[in-house]
Amino acid sequence: MKKISSVLLISALAFNQSCTTMKSTETQKEIPTPDASLSSNPFMKKSKLQYEAPEFDKIKDEHFKPAFDFGLRQHDAEILKIANNPEAPTFENTLVALEKSGEILKRALIVFSNLTSANTNPTLQALDEEYAPIFAAHSDKMYLNENLYKRIKAISENGLDSESKKLLQYYKQNFEIAGANLSAADKEKLKQINQELASLSTQYSNKLLEARKQGGVFFTDAKELDGLSADEIAAAATDAKNAGKEGRYLLALQNTTQQPLLQNLKNRSTREKLFKASWTRAEKGDANDTRETIEKLAKLRLKKAQILGKKSFAEWKLQDQMAKTPEAATKLMNQIATPAVETAKREAKDIQDLINQQNGGFEVEPWDWNFYAEQVRKAKFDLDESEIKPYFEITTVLEKGVFFAAEKFYGLTFKKRTDLPVYHPDVVTYEVFDHDGKSIAIYYLDFYTRDSKNGGAWMSNFVEQSYLLGTKPVIVNCYNYQKPAPGKPSLISFDDVSTIFHEFGHSIHGMFASQKYPSLSGTNVPRDFVEFPSQINEHWALDPVVLKNYAIHYDTKQPIPQILVDKIKKAATFNQGYMTTELVSAAALDMDWHTVTSESELIPVLDFEKQSLAKHGFTLSTVPPRYHTPYFAHIWGGGYSAGYYAYLWSETLDNDAWEWIKSNGGLTRENGDRFRKYILSVGNSVDLNQAFRDFTGHDPDIKPLLRNRGFIK
Ligand SMILES: [Zn+2]
């Protein structure tokens, strides 16, 4: 089972978008230094904590604005100085100087981006809306600076080491993608568009967060929640109370179309209410309706692509990805879509048969799917979630599962830290040690869901590794698990277990970063590569040695019985038709939104989605896309526009590489070192298609993916 989650791409936020050009009258300024009014601002100096971990005990909301304002001024001055340097352009005085610039701004922004995702509040949200267009303009100031582009073009590759060569190519390509070759008039237009896009994206995210919060469903009678555990019902009562409706029950929304609770809710009308609340959350015609914002975003993105000389936004966006063109990405999706839909049809029949056997007297609807699929699963595989969950206590899964696998494969060890300040009392921290005992990283985990947190799960850096800057990785993983009632264990599903392994896969990609330049470090790789390490790491959840070590009953302390393990494994291809179809249809929808070549194709949001799904043969109404356009945050609020296919691309790499690992001995230190050497430690400093070939000995092959999903033998 594949987890869908994202890596928060922070550097992209500020520095890879594209624009405010410099007025020709602007001259070189002195680099400003912080004055006395900023002396207590924690962003002005490097943190004194280990590896420059953020000083959350000192950071207050009011520190961001002055840090941004000063950081922007300082970075502007630094860029101007580099661009207008009277000396001949060299790698050192141009690219190395750029890599070192913007220190204060980056420091403040990386913490800010993490907090607006994981623990936001109205002050931070307002700041986000205010500064999104300013940061976009700031990024453009650099990428549309003609002098700077000329200098970069003048730098010779001769005598550069391979990582430095890659950095030169990276900057050249980024400048071109951002529009450095455009006329002055077009640059002005582009700058305007970029600022508008940034504002719209932020508005979209804020609307959606509120829509999710407001979209939860209240119930008056606990009977309506029949099928949920006593703990889940108690949590629903607490949530209602916190929302000011004591005595009622609140089922909050998760960010995906399907809601995990639908699997257990016996009352069909409750299921329907919850599903419809999810589906319609952001299309109610109120202040949180996202459709108008989406239409504006889609139009502006097309306009931007056209100014940049491309037919569509996707064509522009995919230039520096592994897929390179929308056609290559679409080809992959089509190869997966047909067998996925065929499989989903068979699964739908199994479900309908079961409904009929029980004299249900209705046709299966999307809100029934998981409820009956769970029963089919029990019948076919005799597997019951509630039987499994007691073996998956969250901290045991982490320490004796995820960390254990990392020790066996890579030789890593972990030590819990309680001395580091955190941004929320639920956050826990660890220090990470390499196979030779050397400390290499700090790792934060934030497990539980809150209204102040975006949905889903993700990995992000607080500090990026760089030999040039002398920094080591400081990394965080965020999740949205239900916090257990006080004194109760946090028991999670196997799906959630896989998510923890997945996110750790991103983290280890960050921890093993071994680059000189921060722009090429760790997870700063193309989006269709970034999910590869995380998906590989998911496989360890079912490795027999690992599983035996972590799947321990929270109460009896007995290891999970082999018979349950066999069932989990057998059930691994269960419901894959549904799960793959909902994923591919979302990916196809994203690509359709971003391959339009004229404004006339951009019809109203809901009509557009309907047409797109029909065009690709996603006609099963019982299998809706994983995200419906109005709440498809990855593509409208995050960095995955024309990029959602990346999960499937990465998964192709993952399944293929996993076959190599399995056929070469599996969980061995030798294999771990090899994976680290070719894949995890190279960041974006090499040709990643070549890195894959170096690891497996061949080009990526889609067959292992189709086999693992049970679509072919
Ligand atoms: Zn991921």
Q: How would you write 151-204 as a 3-class SS string?
A: HHHHCCCCCCCHHHHHHHHHHHHHHHHHCCCCCHHHHHHHHHHHHHHHHHHHHH
**Quick one: which of 542, 506, 467 has its CA closest to 679?**
506
Average pLDDT for 396-425: 98
CA of 539: how far to CAs of 146, 402, 478, in Å? 48, 11, 20
CA of 193: how far to CAs of 299, 305, 593, 606, 610, in Å? 10, 11, 18, 25, 28
**Quick one: which of 383, 371, 447, 197 has its CA closest to 300?**
197
Report CA(528)–ligand 1 centroid distance (Å).
11
Q: Which of the two residues, 232 and 571, has the higher pLDDT score?
A: 232
How far apart are alpha carbons 413 and 415 in whole angstroms?
A: 7
Average pLDDT for 558-585: 91
Q: What is the pLDDT of residue 454?
A: 87
User: Does residue 580 surpass a pLDDT of 50?
Assistant: yes
Query: Could you tell me the two tokens for 463?
Result: 């500090």
How far apart are alpha carbons 604 and 134 in whole angstroms?
A: 30
Q: Which range has the worst mean pLDDT, 109-113, 135-139, 606-610?
A: 135-139
551 SS3 class:
coil
Dump pLDDT digits (tens) for 74-128: 999 999 999 999 999 999 999 999 999 999 999 999 999 999 999 999 999 999 9
For residues 506 and 476, the answer to whether their CB atoms sit within 8 Å is: no
Phi, psi torsion values for 462, nearest 5 degrees? -95, -30
How far apart are alpha carbons 175 and 155 in whole angstroms?
A: 14
Report CA(458)–ligand 1 centroid distance (Å).
6
- 0.75 cut: is pTM over it? yes
393 SS3 class:
strand
Report CA(507)–ligand 1 centroid distance (Å).
10
Report CA(421)–ligand 1 centroid distance (Å).
26
Average pLDDT for 320-336: 94
Report CA(3)–ligand 1 centroid distance (Å).
7
Q: Outline where DSSP puts E strands in 192-299.
A: 217-219, 249-251
For residues 459 and 523, the answer to whether their CB atoms sit within 8 Å is: yes
Q: How confident is the model at residue 45 (pLDDT cuts 50, 70, 90)?
A: very high
Tokens 């639920």 identify what position? 426
Report CA(318)–ligand 1 centroid distance (Å).
19
Of the residues 347, 374, 464, 503, only one is catalytic, namely: 503
One-letter amino acid of 668: T
Q: What is the pLDDT of residue 385?
A: 81
User: Does residue 16 surpass a pLDDT of 60?
Assistant: no
Q: How confident is the model at residue 20 (pLDDT cuts 50, 70, 90)?
A: very low
How far apart are alpha carbons 14 and 475 in whole angstroms?
A: 19
Query: Which residues are bridge partners to 417 per DSSP?
Result: 429
Q: How many CA atoms lie within 13 A of 133 on its CB side?
A: 13
**Quick one: which of 407, 343, 371 has its CA closest to 275?**
371
For residues 455 and 480, the answer to whether their CB atoms sit within 8 Å is: yes
Sign of the torsion angle spanned by Cα atoms 483, 473, 672, 9:
positive
Dump pLDDT digits (tens) for 530-551: 999 999 999 999 999 999 999 9
Phi, psi torsion values for 491, nearest 5 degrees? -100, 135
429: DSSP letter = E
Q: What is the pLDDT of residue 12?
A: 35
Query: Could you tell me the two tokens for 472?
Result: 């080591």
Q: What is the pLDDT of residue 479?
A: 96
Query: Could you tell me the two tokens for 157?
Result: 């590759």
SS3 content of the chain, % helix, strand, coil (to 5): 60, 5, 35
**Quick one: which of 569, 495, 527 has its CA closest to 653?**
527
Q: What is the pLDDT of residue 8?
A: 52
Residues 6+ apart with CB under 8 A from 622: 348, 364, 365, 366, 368, 369
Query: Which residues are bridge partners to 439 per DSSP?
Result: 433
How far apart are alpha carbons 272 and 461 in whole angstroms?
A: 39
Tokens 């093993």 identify what position? 512
Residue 173's CB: how many other CB atoms inside 10 A? 12
Query: Could you tell me the two tokens for 692?
Result: 């894959």
Q: What is the pLDDT of residue 572?
A: 79
Report CA(70)–ligand 1 centroid distance (Å).
34
Q: How confident is the model at residue 231 (pLDDT cuts 50, 70, 90)?
A: confident
Write b or e for each residue in 365-381: b if 16 or more Cβ atoms lie within 10 A of its Cβ, otherwise e: ebbbbbbbbbbbbeeeb
User: Does residue 2 surpass a pLDDT of 60?
Assistant: no
Q: What is the pLDDT of residue 7?
A: 53
One-letter amino acid of 16: N
Instruction: Tell me the percentage of the chain whose pLDDT exceeds 90.
Output: 86
CA of 636: how far to CAs of 252, 379, 627, 631, in Å? 22, 40, 11, 8
How far apart are alpha carbons 421 and 417 in whole angstroms?
A: 10
Query: Which residues are bridge partners to 559 per DSSP?
Result: 552
Q: What is the CA radius of gyration of the chain?
A: 25
Report CA(648)–ligand 1 centroid distance (Å).
11
Report CA(5)–ligand 1 centroid distance (Å).
4
How far apart are alpha carbons 709 and 480 in whole angstroms?
A: 26
**Quick one: which of 139, 168, 148, 370 has its CA closest to 272?**
370
For residues 186 and 124, the answer to whether their CB atoms sit within 8 Å is: no
Tokens 């907090």 identify what position? 115
For residues 250 and 236, the answer to whether their CB atoms sit within 8 Å is: yes
User: Does residue 5 surpass a pLDDT of 60?
Assistant: no
Q: Where are the alpha helices (DSSP H) in 451-526?
A: 494-511
Q: What is the pLDDT of residue 22?
A: 31
Q: How confident is the model at residue 29 (pLDDT cuts 50, 70, 90)?
A: low
Q: How many CA atoms lie within 13 A of 144 on its CB side?
A: 29
User: Does residue 302 surpass a pLDDT of 60?
Assistant: yes
275: DSSP letter = H
Angle between helix axes 64-83 and 146-154 (nearest 10 degrees) is: 60
Write b or e for each residue in 560-574: b if 16 or more Cβ atoms lie within 10 A of its Cβ, otherwise e: beeebbebbeebbeb
Dump pLDDT digits (tens) for 163-191: 999 999 999 999 999 999 999 999 999 99
Domains and CATH numbers, the chain: 9-209 (1.10.1370.40), 215-268 (no CATH), 389-539 (1.10.1370.40)
Query: Could you tell me the two tokens for 342?
Result: 């065929």
Angle between helix axes 576-595 and 605-615 (nearest 10 degrees) is: 120
Torsional class of 32: left (φ above 0), alpha (ψ -120 to 50), beta (otherwise): beta
CA of 284: how far to CAs of 182, 214, 257, 630, in Å? 41, 11, 16, 10
Instruction: Tell me the percentage of the chain whose pLDDT exceeds 70.
Output: 96
Tokens 């700041």 identify what position? 127
Give yes or no: 26 in active site.
no
Q: Outline where DSSP puts E strands in 434-473.
A: 439-448, 458-463
